[in-house]
Amino acid sequence: MAVFTPVTLEEIAPRIATDFVIGDAILCKGIHAGIENSNFFLNCQQGAYVHEYVLTIFERLHSKQLPYYLELMLHLANQGIPVPKPMTNRSGQLQIEIKGKPASIVTKLPGQSELAPQPEHCAEVGGMLAKMHLAGQSFSLSQPNLRSLSWWQETVPLILPHLTESQKELLLSEMQYQEQFFASTTYQSLPAGPCHCDLFRDNVLFTSNQGQSMLGGFFDFYFAGNDKWLFDLAVTANDWCLEQPIESGPGDLNRERLHDLLSAYIQVRPLSDAEEEAWPAMLRAAALRFWISRLWDFYLPRNAQMLTPHDPSHFERILRSRRHAT
Domains in the chain (CATH in brackets) are: 9-107 (3.30.200.20), 119-325 (3.90.1200.10)
Per-residue pLDDT of the chain (326 residues; tens, 9 = 90+): 457 899 999 999 999 999 999 999 999 999 976 567 899 999 999 999 999 999 999 998 889 999 999 999 999 999 999 999 999 999 999 999 999 999 999 999 999 999 999 999 999 999 999 999 999 999 999 999 999 999 999 999 999 999 999 999 999 999 999 999 999 999 999 999 999 999 999 999 999 888 889 999 999 999 999 999 999 999 999 999 999 988 888 999 999 999 999 999 999 999 999 999 999 999 999 999 999 999 999 998 766 544 566 899 999 999 999 999 98
User: Residue 37's closest CA among 219, 203, 222?
Assistant: 222
Amino acid at 260: D
* Backbone dihedral angles phi then psi of residue 322, each to the nearest 5 degrees: -70, -35
Distance CA 251, CA 245 (A): 9
- pLDDT at residue number 35: 64
Beta strands in the chain (DSSP E): 24-30, 38-46, 49-57, 96-98, 101-107, 192-195, 204-209, 212-218, 225-228
- pLDDT at residue number 34: 53
pLDDT in tens, 304-326: 544 566 899 999 999 999 999 98
- pLDDT at residue number 152: 98
Cβ proximity of 72 and 47 under 8 Å: no
- pLDDT at residue number 1: 43
**What is the pTM assigned to this prediction?**
0.93
Print the SS3 string covering 64-129.
CCHHHHHHHHHHHHHCCCCCCCECCCCCCCCCEEECCEEEEEEECCCCECCCCCCHHHHHHHHHHH
Cβ atoms < 10 Å from Cβ of 258: 18
Cβ atoms < 10 Å from Cβ of 323: 17
Cβ proximity of 57 and 103 under 8 Å: yes
The DSSP H or E segment spanning 170 is helix 165-183
Amino acid at 313: S
* Torsion angle of the four alpha carbons 55, 56, 57, 63, in this order, in degrees rounded to the nearest 10: -110
- pLDDT at residue number 211: 80
Q: Over the range 266-304, which residues count as b (16 or more CB within 10 Å of their CB) and which as e? A: beebebeebbebbbebbbbbbbbbbbbbbbbbbeeeeeb
Task: Write the CB contacts of 92 (distance below 8 Å, at least 6 apart in sequence).
Answer: none
